[in-house]
Amino acid sequence: MLLQQDVLETLPQQVEVVADLHLRPYYGNEDETDGLYYSEAKAGTTAFHAYATLYARVNNKRYTLAVRRLTDGDTASDVLAEFLGLLENFEFDVKAVYLDSGFYDGTCLTLLQAHNFAYIVPVIKWGSKIKNELSTGWSREVTHDLTTTYGENEWTVEFPVMIDCTYKNGQYGEHGVARHGYAVDAPFVDEPRQARSHYSKRFRIEASYRLSESTIISTTTQDPTRRLLFVVLSLLIQNVWRYLHWEYVATPRRGGRRLWWWPFDALV
């Protein structure tokens, strides 16, 4: 509720929502630390302090709505089910949900369809069929499916995939055609380049994590609850900064408010 205080009053009637998984590498003694999350190796470790974050994105501003800690055994669909349940209870309308690739699986896509939210999720190259689709041809829309299991139940979820092709033009020393695939079900996306353009908005939330590093409390505590509290406090400070900046520093003018220079460092 602290993260949502005042923020919900600031948001318009319709917002874009972003969900992200964030893994902080852990290099300590795993036997002495509770609440770790294990995933594929990254930055030299498979153990992490992991958090899932739900944002509202409005006019290039990010407002954190919820944070959830992940522990070993949690799944992306567990997190998404909780986040979608929260969105159902908010008073604003959700224009679309943008998810990172950690949410690309059959269960998550089933949840999105069940809640009837518009969504964009990047496709992972699982299986020869989608690998072939993403290695040849030009921009287009195809139909793909994923078979998934939950307990003793098994089902197949079908969804459209937008494949957007761009030239690398020497970026990162590479040439040729880059193909990006997105699972998309959104009324405002009619062609692949629109899918890539809209999804690129998700990447701007990385600034929230960079800012949180400048406000998070340095700690060696092994208590996962206290660590989560410190993460929430760092994101709460960002919400306060954005709220104050928009409500009191910006001045009204025709066509919208004028944002005066007030960097985050000046607050912290």
- Give the tens place of pLDDT for each residue, 146-181: 998 877 889 999 999 999 998 776 665 566 788 999
- List the domain range (segments joined by +) for residue 183: 7-267
- pLDDT for 229: 60
Flag whether pLDDT at 17 surpasses 70: yes
Residues in the chain: 268
Q: What is the CATH number of the domain that holds 169?
A: 3.90.350
- In-domain check, residue 1: no
Q: pLDDT tens digit string along 194-231?
A: 999 999 876 555 454 455 555 455 555 555 566 556 65
pLDDT in tens, 231-262: 556 656 665 555 555 555 555 555 555 554 54
For residues 110 and 267, which has the higher predicted lDDT (pLDDT)? Answer: 110
Residue 215: inside a domain, yes or no? Answer: yes
* Cα–Cα distance for residue pair 91/12, rounded to 1 Å: 10
* Mean pLDDT across the chain: 77
User: Does the residue 2 lie in any domain?
Assistant: no
Does 69 fall in a domain?
yes
Residue 121 CA to residue 150 CA, distance in Å, equals 21
Whether 184 is covered by a domain: the verdict is yes
Q: Which helix (H) or strand (E) covers residue 230, if one does?
A: helix 224-244
Q: What is the structure's pLDDT at 174?
A: 62
Position 203 in a domain: yes
Residue at 194 is within a domain: yes
DSSP strand pairing (140-150 vs 153-167) = antiparallel
250 belongs to a structural domain? yes
Q: What pTM did the predictor assign? A: 0.74
Split into its structural domains, the chain has a count of 1
Query: For residue 42, is pLDDT > 90?
Result: no
